[in-house]
Copies of this chain bind each other. A is one copy, B any other.
Amino acid sequence: MRDVLVLVVGTTDVSLIPGISIAGPSPEATHYTPALDAEYLLLGRTRTLGVVPTTPDGIPTPAVITRALTAGVPKVVVDAGSRVPPRVPRVALGGVPGGDIRRGAMPRAAAEELAANARLLGSQLAPLGRLVLGESMPGGTTTAMAILIALGYDAWGRTSSAAPRNPKALKEAVVREAVSRISPPLDAISAAAEVGDPVHLALAAIALGAAESGGEVALAGGTQMAAAAALYRAMGGDAGRLRILTTRWIVEDPESDLLGLAREVGVGAVEHSRTSFAGSRMEGLRAFERGYVKEGVAMGYALIRAEGMGLDALGIVEGELEGLLGRARPARRSPGSGRRRADSRTSAPDTPRGPQSASAPQSDGWVARRSGHGSRRAARRGAMDRRSAEHPRRAPERSPHRWTAR
């Protein structure tokens, strides 16, 4: 049976809380990441902002890895509720961007409309193949924790982070304030509307609609997928029919507990990738072995698929990343170019700033470069961030950027 990769994107204002997603040049920049991920996944380039999908140190966003390893897999982008809609075909479900969960995530009517449409979408897509549901939403591990707790699970401190050091104290403080307004356990719609976000609810309802139509569903992601599975179960779904596909970096993470959460929710199986990036010639990929990124944009699924096909996953990813960095090369050479070739092109901290625009995140000192193909908004330049991937050679407040201005 064919796979259909469904990337569900959205935003939560939780990512605007300083430190939660260790926001990049500005907290608002995190709201661009889902759009950029969706665009990169479908196009191999971005349209909303002219940025390179790596940190200044060459750590790629997971969309780069997923795209590299899923050539030929049909892909659908679903917009559950985004402040910055991706500029690619996107399935709109009538949802709204998620608010700060300390004050409520979304109106109940919006959650109901979103769930109804997502369920219908699941039933529509089910005949087309096995649905592999991925996500992109900064702040999602915090809302995942809140959703699980709202549904009655003891999830305190058990969801993951894209940083090697999970900012658990901050996340728990936010969740504690959010759930102080409610009395768990709540029903699924209430949990999502009160302390959740549009993405988890859409994932759950798409999965439910597909399962009800006899389809096969895999949730491709980290601990957020335990929250999606819990919502699915709370909506009446049989969690035993669900499979979570994730990375080795998630299941080996000492700071979170996907396997335990999945077991408590009753998920049928958790499968993880085995690929190691330790032997990579690229620093940005070796960083994954030190706890950076871990998951996102269905990266675990992409790795598992490549492994199953006997492909050289690391080699393919290195090729994609080198192509990307090569494309970003021509504008300027950095003084640090004596270092490892590809890496030096995104880590040089001393090249000039790119032009700035009032309507886009500021580049804030990151490397500005032109890629080979300009976007219509190439004049907008900015550095993007997500998931608190801390910079290995800088102070934390300067470091975490998942996207680099070019």
> B residues within 8 A CB of A4?
128
How far is B92's CA from A92's CA once the two chains are assembled, in angstroms? 6
Partner of A42, one of B75, B93, B94, B124: B124
The 3 A-B pairs with the shortest beta carbon distances in the complex, nearest first, are A89-B121, A92-B92, A89-B117
Which B-chain residue is minimally distant from A42 (CB atoms)? B120
- A85-B92 in contact given A42-B120, A128-B128 (Cβ < 8 Å): yes
Q: Is A127 at the interface (CB under 8 A from chain B)?
A: yes
Partner of A124, one of B75, B87, B92: B75
- A87-B76 in contact given A42-B120, A120-B43 (Cβ < 8 Å): no
Q: Is A216 at the interface (CB under 8 A from chain B)?
A: no
Q: Hey, what's the 0/1 contact readout for A113-128 against B, CB within 8 Å counting as 1?
A: 1000110110011011
Which B-chain residue is minimally distant from A93 (CB atoms)? B89
| Contact of A89 with B89 in the complex, beta carbons under 8 Å | no
Nearest CB in chain B: distance from A182 CB, A: 25
Q: Which of A86-109 contact B (CB under 8 A)?
A: 87-94
Task: Known pairs A75-B124, A87-B113; list 17 more (Cβ under 8 Å).
Answer: A2-B127, A42-B124, A43-B120, A74-B127, A76-B124, A79-B92, A85-B92, A87-B94, A89-B91, A89-B92, A89-B93, A89-B118, A89-B120, A90-B91, A90-B92, A91-B91, A91-B92
How far is B74's CA from A121's CA once the two chains are assembled, in angstroms? 10
Report 25 cross-chain contacts, Cβ distance below 8 Å, ordered by A residue.
A2-B127, A4-B128, A42-B124, A43-B120, A72-B127, A74-B124, A74-B127, A75-B124, A76-B124, A85-B92, A87-B94, A87-B113, A88-B117, A88-B120, A89-B91, A89-B93, A89-B117, A89-B118, A89-B120, A89-B121, A89-B124, A90-B91, A91-B91, A92-B92, A128-B129
> B residues within 8 A CB of A91?
89-92
Number of copies: 2
> B residues within 8 A CB of A121?
89
> B residues within 8 A CB of A125?
74
Could you list which residues of chain A lie within 8 angstroms of chain B, going by C-beta atoms? Answer: 2, 4, 42-43, 72, 74-76, 79, 85, 87-94, 113, 117-118, 120-121, 124-125, 127-129
Partner of A128, one of B43, B74, B87, B117: B74
How far is B210's CA from A74's CA once the two chains are assembled, in angstroms? 12
Which B-chain residue is minimally distant from A109 (CB atoms)? B376
Which B-chain residue is minimally distant from A79 (CB atoms)? B92
Nearest CB in chain B: distance from A111 CB, A: 13
Nearest CB in chain B: distance from A201 CB, A: 14
> B residues within 8 A CB of A43?
120
Which B-chain residue is minimally distant from A89 (CB atoms)? B121
> B residues within 8 A CB of A76?
124
> B residues within 8 A CB of A75?
124
How far is B79's CA from A85's CA once the two chains are assembled, in angstroms? 15
Which B-chain residue is minimally distant from A128 (CB atoms)? B128
Which B-chain residue is minimally distant from A125 (CB atoms)? B74
Which B-chain residue is minimally distant from A87 (CB atoms)? B94
> B residues within 8 A CB of A42?
120, 124
> B residues within 8 A CB of A92?
79, 85, 89-92
How far is B88's CA from A127's CA once the two chains are assembled, in angstroms? 18
How far is B89's CA from A124's CA once the two chains are assembled, in angstroms? 9
Which B-chain residue is minimally distant from A72 (CB atoms)? B127
> B residues within 8 A CB of A85?
92
Nearest CB in chain B: distance from A255 CB, A: 36
Nearest CB in chain B: distance from A175 CB, A: 31
Q: Which of A85, A94, A129 has the most CB of B within 10 A?
A: A94
Nearest CB in chain B: distance from A380 CB, A: 15
How far is B89's CA from A129's CA once the two chains are assembled, in angstroms? 18
